[in-house]
Amino acid sequence: MEEVRLYARRAALEEASLNPEDFWKCVGDAAELFSERGSEYCLDIGGGVRALSLCLYTAALLAVRLWNTKIEAVYTMAEHAERIVQIDLMPILYVNELTRSNANARRRILEELAEGPLEDLGRYDKKILKEFTKHGLLNNDKLTEAGKTLLKYIQRRT
């Protein structure tokens, strides 16, 4: 990341962090786009919104990884943008943990958290909640947008 910051300073580019809640909400909204269409298509994102491009690219990665969707292209025409945007992809690093065949407890807890706060937690459940917090899926005992989004993708996979 330091190399990116150095590049930004040399090129006089603006640096910005994308709000993780906004980012993951956008990725969750894109689930509708990728789940309602056929298995092969090309998505062209025009305009100058790099953050939207990152959201849709992340959604495409999840769709390919979890649903075996064939996505031919996700790109932007905004070559002139003067901003480097940093996003947190920690939740994506946790996808493999949630999709393993022996991850039923993790998926169950994720689904239960979507319905509301959990009560009477055992030691193992508390350990899972710590994992969720560490990877950005949980904050203050509530699912973050990342947690809701990953749950949405996992529930829709075939």
pLDDT of residue 41: 43
Q: In this structure, is the dihedral angle defined by the CA atoms of residues 96, 101, 105 and 110, taken in order, positive or negative?
A: positive
Hey, which of 40-44, 76-80, 91-95, 109-113 has the most confident mean pLDDT? 109-113
H/E stretch holding 5 = helix 2-10
pLDDT of residue 132: 95
Residue 42's pLDDT band (cuts 50, 70, 90): very low
pLDDT of residue 131: 94
pLDDT of residue 54: 72
pLDDT of residue 114: 94
What the block records as the tokens of 41 is 């298509």
Three-state DSSP state, 94: coil
Domain ranges of the chain: 2-156
- Mean pLDDT, rounded, of the chain: 76
What the block records as the tokens of 99 is 């999709």
